[in-house]
Chains A and B, each alone.
Chain A
């Protein structure tokens, strides 16, 4: 089975801290994604990566950056956490060669910024 693992289920951070959310997938997928999920807004794409060291901004990249040094790992970075970044963060991966296939999601990280 495809597995996407996010390093933390719950995080509490202080305003201004630098926060790292880690995601690892074990299916050699080219595409990886970071979404945030908020009630009534569904999933909004923050960043995605289509290859190692390659990244593209999604719909809401402000306040975030990403890193993909290895194919299996995609990190989301909050440079200076703010309370409006309190949210559920979901990582996903997908096989680029088969764009019609499903995205596989991690369990999510619920981040609270206080």
Chain B
């Protein structure tokens, strides 16, 4: 069975500081990995995804995540955060032929001035 563990429920950070949101998964088959972001009072939207190939994937707004198969991790990083990055971030996993996407519990990122 697949599962996703987000290791931090809340991450406070000052503006322009680096941040890492941690995600570990378990699966017996090959997976696709996703990070979604939820801004206040909105639905989720895709931030970035890993399907295959290069293990480092990037988003258009400066986030990146690295797929580490040996550690079964897909941590999300940004070298310098902005106030506008304040949101909840969800790591998710699905696999080929599967109907379901499994979500982690979410990490609330608070960016302080």
Contact = CB atoms under 8 A, between A and B. Distances in A.
B74 interface: no
Contact of A100 (B6, B90, B96, B100): B96
Interface string B63-87: 0000000000000000000000000
Contacts of B43: 4, 90, 105-108
Interface in B91-110: 94-101, 103-106
Interface residues of B, number: 26
Given A56-B99, A99-B97, A42 B51 contact: no
Contacts, number: 58
A102 B41 CA distance: 20
Per DSSP, are chain A's interface residues mostly helix, strand or loop, or mixed?
Answer: strand
Contacts of B44: 43, 90, 92, 103, 105
**Chain A interface extent, by class:** 20 to 34
21 contacts: A31-B99, A40-B9, A42-B103, A42-B106, A48-B100, A56-B99, A58-B100, A92-B44, A94-B101, A96-B99, A99-B94, A99-B96, A99-B97, A100-B51, A100-B96, A103-B44, A103-B46, A105-B36, A105-B43, A107-B41, A108-B41
Interface of A: 4, 31, 33, 35, 40-43, 45, 48, 50, 56, 58, 90, 92, 94, 96, 99-100, 102-103, 105-108
